[in-house]
Amino acid sequence: MTIELKEDLAYILLKKVGDRTQTDEPLTFSAESADFAGRRTNNNEILAHLDYLNQKGYIKADFEGDAYADKGPNPLPDAIRLQALELTPSGQSLLQKMSNNPPQKLASGPSTAIATKDADFLNKVMLKGHIDNIYDARDFTEIVFRTMRDLMTTPATDKVASELHTAASHTDKKAAQEEIVDLWQDSNPIVRLLSKIRPSLNFDADTFLYRVEKEGGLPNTTGPNTVVKAVFSATKDELSEQRIAEIADFMPGKIRTLWEEA
């Protein structure tokens, strides 16, 4: 399984392993610990990075259960405990190189997490999507919405529009001062018209993600899964349970899974 590798997480993990003194004791990792404060991560992502470092030979670690599972017979625990964990010579070399030139994200230091429940729409997308500015959050949101609408019938998209009348952002940046419904219906008048008159399309989850990645020109600090899920999460906060269920029925494969998990 591919992951969106984050240099700051990889560096923190390598350093934590390298600083370990009692090698016979298990090492515990948790997204809630001070090590990852403000890094916008979770145990699933941490374990995925550990698995990646293990596969590439930077660390030696014994894993129990599914490295990427959060459901099923081997769910992720509240904290990740690994036995027989050590830094390999390759890992020591990589850690030294990263210590000499630390990831840029570390320079900003930990940031204080905000309660997304109380944040406005585009700030939620920025926070959960690992997006640096409100303009990109707006553009990515519009692309995700456009791709969603292409899968849906016109009556279904109209029902969504009827529920989206919350301000997208309380910012002084004029380009982002729109209602969510304006983003949903598309700022491009030709695209907006086509969405009204053409029948719904049929494409798979990979095409959905490909469109978001290529049309959006995503930076290397994030990825299509992350951005799509961030937009989904912020959108669901504005919709009724009935509308949420209806949209799920239009989404293909793992896109439906991202929608339901958001």
Give the helix/strand (H/E) hosting 163: helix 154-163
Please indicate whether residue 5 or residue 114 has the higher confidence score (pLDDT): 5
Q: What is the pTM of this model?
A: 0.54
Contact 35, 28 (CB under 8 A): no
Mean pLDDT along residues 73-97: 72
From 254, 163, 156, select the one nearest 200 (Cα to Cα): 156
Please give the C-alpha separations between residue 216 and each of 88, 139, 163, 183, 253, in angstroms, as whole numbers: 38, 7, 25, 14, 21
Which 8-state DSSP code applies to residue 214? H
* 139-155 residues labelled b (16+ CB within 10 A) or e (exposed): bbbbbbbbbbbbbbeee
And the tokens for 73? 């017979």
Contact 13, 49 (CB under 8 A): yes
Asked if the model's pLDDT at residue 88 lies above 50, the reply is yes
Domains of the chain: which residue ranges?
7-108, 116-261
Give 98-122 pLDDT, tens digit per residue. 777 776 665 554 433 333 443 578 8
At 201-234, the pLDDT tens digits run 899 999 999 999 998 888 777 889 999 999 999 9
Query: What fold is seen in the domain 116-261?
Result: Globin-like (1.10.490)
Count of Cβ atoms closer than 10 Å to residue 184 Cβ: 23
Q: What is the C-alpha separation between 191 and 185, in angstroms, rounded?
A: 9
- Mean per-residue pLDDT over the chain, rounded: 78
Whether the per-residue pLDDT at 68 is higher than 70: the answer is no
How far apart are the C-alpha atoms of 49 and 67, rounded to whole Å?
Answer: 9
- The closest of 42, 21, 44 to 32, measured between CA atoms, is 42
CA-to-CA distance for 47 and 13, rounded, in angstroms? Answer: 10
The answer to whether residue 27 scores a pLDDT higher than 70 is: yes
How far, in Å, are 184, 237, 248, 260 from residue 241 at the CA level?
A: 18, 10, 11, 11
pLDDT at position 158, please?
A: 92
Q: Where are the alpha helices (DSSP H) in 3-133?
A: 7-18, 43-55, 89-100, 121-129
- Distance, CA of 256 to CA of 262 (rounded, Å): 10
Nearest to 216 by CA among 227, 205, 201: 227
Close Cβ partners of 130 (under 8 Å, ≥ 6 residues apart): 40, 221, 222, 226, 230
Please state which of the ranges 50-59, 127-136, 196-205, 224-233 shows the lowest mean pLDDT: 127-136
Q: Which two tokens stand for residue 248?
A: 């799920």
Q: Which CATH code for domain 7-108?
A: 1.10.10.10
Give the residue among 104, 102, 109 at the shortest CA–CA distance from 38: 109
